[in-house]
Amino acid sequence: MAKRKELVLRKLAHDTFASLPGETEEVVEKKRKGIREETRGISGARMIDISRIKSDPDQPRRRRDARTLKELAASIREHGLLQPITVEYVDHGDYFKIINGERRYEAAKLAGLSELPCIIKDIDRRVRLTHQLIENIQRQDLPALEEAEAIQTLIDNQRMENPGYSQRAAAKELGLPKTYVNEMISLLKLPKDIKRSVRTSDAFPKSLLLLLVRQGDEKNIREFCQQLREGKLTVREVKTKLRKSKPTRGRPQYYQYQFRAPEKDFILKIRFRKARVDRSEIINVLSQVLRSLKQDRA
Write the pLDDT tens digit of every residue in 64-95: 677 888 888 888 888 888 888 889 888 888 89
Residues 195, 117 within the same domain: no
Phi-psi region at 38: left, alpha or beta (left = phi > 0; alpha = psi -120 to 50): left
Instruction: Dump pLDDT digits (tens) for 156-166.
Output: 877 777 778 88
Q: How far apart, in whole angstroms, are the C-alpha atoms of residue 162 and residue 155?
A: 10
Phi/psi at 38 (5° precision): 60, 25
Cα torsion for 219, 224, 225, 231, to the nearest 10°?
150
Does residue 9 belong to any structural domain of this protein?
no
Q: How far apart, in whole angstroms, are the C-alpha atoms of residue 281 and residue 198?
A: 33
Say if strands 256-260 and 39-42 run parallel, antiparallel, or are unpaired. Answer: unpaired
Alpha carbon 4 to its chain centroid, in Å, reads 51
Does residue 6 belong to any structural domain of this protein?
no
CA count, 13 A, side-chain hemisphere, 214? 17
Interval 117-122 mean pLDDT: 86
Residue 52 confidence (pLDDT) = 92
The helix (H) or strand (E) run that includes residue 10 is helix 2-18
258, β-bridge pairs: 269
Radius of gyration from C-alpha coordinates of the chain: 31
Residue 108 confidence (pLDDT) = 92
Does residue 235 belong to any structural domain of this protein?
yes
Nearest CA among 229, 217, 216, 136 for reference residue 176: 136
Residue 170 confidence (pLDDT) = 83
Does residue 208 belong to any structural domain of this protein?
yes
Last residue of a domain, one of 112, 127, 142: 127
Q: How far apart, in whole angstroms, are the C-alpha atoms of residue 139 and residue 103?
A: 10
Neighbours of 127 (CB within 10 A): 12
For Cα atoms 35, 69, 205, give the angle at the middle one, nearest 5 degrees: 120
Does residue 258 belong to any structural domain of this protein?
no
Q: Which domain holds residue 100?
A: 39-127
Amino acid code (one letter) for 175: G
Does residue 163 belong to any structural domain of this protein?
no
Instruction: Dump pLDDT digits (tens) for 233-281.
Output: 787 887 787 777 655 444 445 677 888 877 778 888 888 776 667 777 7
Does residue 52 belong to any structural domain of this protein?
yes
Q: How far apart, in whole angstroms, are the C-alpha atoms of residue 216 and residue 102?
A: 36
Q: What is the DSSP string of 152-182?
A: HHHHHHHHHH-TT--HHHHHHHHT--HHHHH
Neighbours of 46 (CB within 10 A): 19
Residue 137 confidence (pLDDT) = 64
Domain holding 56: CATH number? Answer: 3.90.1530.30
Last residue of a domain, one of 127, 147, 165: 127
- Classify 5 as helix, strand or coil: helix
Instruction: Dump pLDDT digits (tens) for 5-53.
Output: 455 445 544 554 444 444 444 444 566 777 666 666 666 688 999 999 9
As for how many domains the chain has, the answer is 2
Where helices occur in 19-124 by DSSP H, the ranges are 66-79, 102-111
Q: Who has greater pLDDT, 264 or 171?
A: 171
Interval 50-59 mean pLDDT: 84
Nearest CA among 42, 138, 127 for reference residue 81: 42
Q: Are 63 and 143 in contact (CB under 8 A)?
A: yes
Mean pLDDT of all residues belonging to the chain = 76
Nearest CA among 210, 272, 200, 215 for reference residue 247: 215
Last residue of a domain, one of 127, 145, 162: 127
Instruction: Dump pLDDT digits (tens) for 131-141.
Output: 766 766 655 56
- Classify 41 as helix, strand or coil: strand
Does residue 133 belong to any structural domain of this protein?
no
- Is a pLDDT exceeding 90 seen at residue 218? no
